[in-house]
Chain A
Amino acid sequence: MILLPNDALGRLQSGCKTIGDRCNSLGISSWEIVASQSYGHQIDIEGGKISLAAGGGEGGYGIRIIEQGKFGYAYLADINSADKAITSALSIARMSPSIDGFVLPSEQQAEQVGGLYDRSIVEMDSESLLTQADLIISEVKSLDDRAVVTGGGIGVSASANAILTSQGIESGGLTTSHGVGVQVSIEENGQLTSSWQSSSSRSKLAEIPGCVARAVDWAQLTRDPIKVDSSEDESSVLMTSEGFSPLFSVVVPNAVKGEKLARSESFWSGKMNDSVVSSDLNLIDDATVEACRSSGARDGEGIPTRKNTLIESGKLLGSLWSTRDAAQQIAEGRIIDAASTGSAIRSGYQSPPISGCSNLFLTTDSKTHDFDSMLELMGDGYVVNSVMGAHTANPTSGDFSVTTSSILRVENGEIIGSVKQAGLSGNMAKALADKVILGDEVRPQGSYSSGTMYVPNVLLGQALRVNPV
Chain B
Amino acid sequence: MVMAKSPDFEVQGTGSRYLDVDKINKSLDKVTDNGATYAEVRLVAYTDYSVSMRDGQLERAIPGQEIGATIRVLADGAWGVHSTTDIASLEQQMNPTLNLARSVAARRSSKDRAISLAEVPIIEDSIHWKPKKDVRNTELSERLEHMRLFNSVASGHDKIVSVNCGWHDEHIHTEFLSTEGMNRTWSFQRSLINGMVTARDGSDVVSYRTRFGGEGGLELIESCDVDELGDNAKVSALRLLKAKRAPSGKMPLIADRDLTGVYIHEALGHPCEADLVAAGDSCLDGKLGEKIGSDIVTVIDDPNIRGGYGAHPIDDEGLDTTEKCLIKNGILTEYLNHRETAEHFGIKPNAGARAQDGLHHPLVRMSNTIIHGGTHADLDELVEDIDYGVYACGSRGGQVDTGRGSFQFAAQEAWLIENGEITSPLKDVSVSGLTLEILKNVDGLTKDSRLAAPGFCGKGQTVPVGDGGPIMRISEALVG
Residues of A participating in the B interface, judged by any CB pair closer than 8 Å: 5, 8, 11, 15, 37, 39, 46-60, 71-81, 84-85, 88, 91-92, 95-97, 126-127, 130, 134, 148, 150-151, 183, 185, 187, 192-194, 230-232, 263-267, 269, 350-352, 388-389, 391-392, 394, 396-397, 399-403, 405, 421, 423-425, 465, 467, 469
Q: Are B61 and A92 in contact (CB under 8 A)?
A: yes
**Cβ-defined contact, A264 with B161, below 8 A:** yes
Q: Which residues of B contact A (CB under 8 A)?
A: 1-6, 8-10, 57-58, 60-68, 70, 78-86, 96-97, 100-101, 103-104, 107-109, 112, 140-141, 144, 161-162, 198, 200, 203-207, 246, 248-249, 275, 278-281, 283, 359, 361, 396-401, 403-404, 406-410, 427-430, 432, 434, 478, 480
Known contacts A39-B2, A52-B80, A77-B85; decide if A96 and B58 are in contact (CB<8 Å). yes
Q: Judging by beta carbons under 8 Å apart, are B281 and A467 in contact?
A: no
Given A388-B401, A392-B397, A401-B410, decide whether A53 and B80 contact each other with a Cβ distance below 8 A. yes
Cβ–Cβ contact A130 & B104, under 8 A: yes
A79 to B8, CA, bound (A): 11
Q: Please, could you name 7 A-B residue pairs with CB atoms under 8 Å apart, sorted by A?
A: A55-B97, A58-B68, A127-B103, A151-B281, A187-B280, A388-B432, A392-B398
Q: Are B57 and A394 in contact (CB under 8 A)?
A: no
In the complex, chain A residues whose CB is within 8 Å of the CB of B407: 388, 403
A225 to B406, CA, bound (A): 15
Q: Which residues of B contact A95 (CB under 8 A)?
A: 58, 61, 140-141, 144
**Bound-state Cα–Cα, A265 to B162, Å:** 8
**Min CB gap A314→B, angstroms:** 17
Inter-chain contact B81/A54, CB cutoff 8 Å: yes
Chain A residues within 8 Å of B108, by CB: 49-50
Residues of A within 8 A of B64 (CB): 74-76, 350
- Whether A92 contacts B203 in the complex (CB less than 8 A), given A37-B1, A54-B100, A59-B2, comes out as no
| CB-contact partner of A56 in B58, B82, B109, B409, under 8 A | B82
Is B480 within 8 A of A54, CB to CB? no
Residues of B within 8 Å of A11, CB to CB, are 1
With contact pairs A54-B83, A403-B432 given, residues A423 and B248 touching in the complex (Cβ less than 8 Å): yes
> Among the listed A49, A91, A267, which residue makes an inter-chain contact with B203, where contact means beta carbons less than 8 Å apart?
A267
A59 contacts which chain B residues (CB < 8 A)? 1-3, 85
Residues of B near A151 (CB, < 8 A) are 279, 281
Residue of A nearest to B6 (CB): A78
A73 and B478 form a contact (CB under 8 A): no
A134→B104 CA distance, assembly (Å)? 10
B66 and A60 contact, CB distance less than 8 A? yes
User: Once bound together, how far apart are the Cα atoms of A421 and B109, in whole Å?
Assistant: 36
* Contact of B207 with A150 in the complex, beta carbons under 8 Å: no
Contacts known (A185-B281, A405-B406); A351 close to B1, Cβ less than 8 A: no
Q: Are A421 and B204 in contact (CB under 8 A)?
A: no
Question: With A148-B280, A187-B280 as given contacts, are A56 and B359 in contact (CB-CB < 8 Å)?
Answer: yes
Which of A265, A350, A402 is close to B430, meaning CB atoms less than 8 Å apart? Answer: A402
On chain B, the residues within 8 Å of A263 by CB distance are 161-162
Partner of B2, one of A58, A80, A425: A58
B198 and A78 contacting across the interface, CB-CB below 8 Å: no
In the complex, the 9 A-B pairs of residues with the closest C-beta atoms, listed nearest first? A423-B480, A392-B410, A56-B83, A57-B2, A54-B81, A401-B430, A403-B408, A52-B79, A403-B432
Tell me if A55 and B81 are in contact (CB < 8 A): yes
Do A388 and B406 touch (CB < 8 A)? yes
Complex contacts, B96 vs chain A, CB 8 Å:
55
In the bound complex, CA of A54 to CA of B82 (Å)? 5
| Residue pair A78, B4 in contact (C-beta under 8 Å) | yes
Given contacts A49-B112, A394-B396, contact A401 B480 (CB under 8 A): yes
CB within 8 Å for A57 and B406 given contacts A194-B401, A264-B200 = no
* A134–B3 alpha-carbon span in the complex (Å): 33
Q: With A and B bound together, what is the CA distance between A95 and B59 in angstroms?
A: 11
**A53 contacts B249, CB within 8 Å?**
no
Is A399 a contact partner of B66 (Cβ separation < 8 A)? no
Considering only CB atoms, which chain B residue lies closest to A79 in the complex?
B3
12 more A-B contacts (CB under 8 A) besides A151-B281, A351-B62?
A37-B1, A50-B107, A54-B100, A57-B83, A84-B10, A88-B63, A130-B104, A352-B62, A389-B397, A392-B398, A394-B207, A396-B206
Checking A81, A265, A469 against B9 with a beta-carbon cut-off of 8 angstroms, the contacting residue is: A81
Distance A389 CA – B480 CA, assembled complex (angstroms) = 12
Contact A388 B400 (CB under 8 A): yes
The closest CB in chain B to the CB of A263 belongs to B162
A403 in contact with B107 given A49-B112, A75-B64 (CB within 8 Å):
no
> Which residues of chain B have C-beta atoms less than 8 A from A352's C-beta?
60, 62
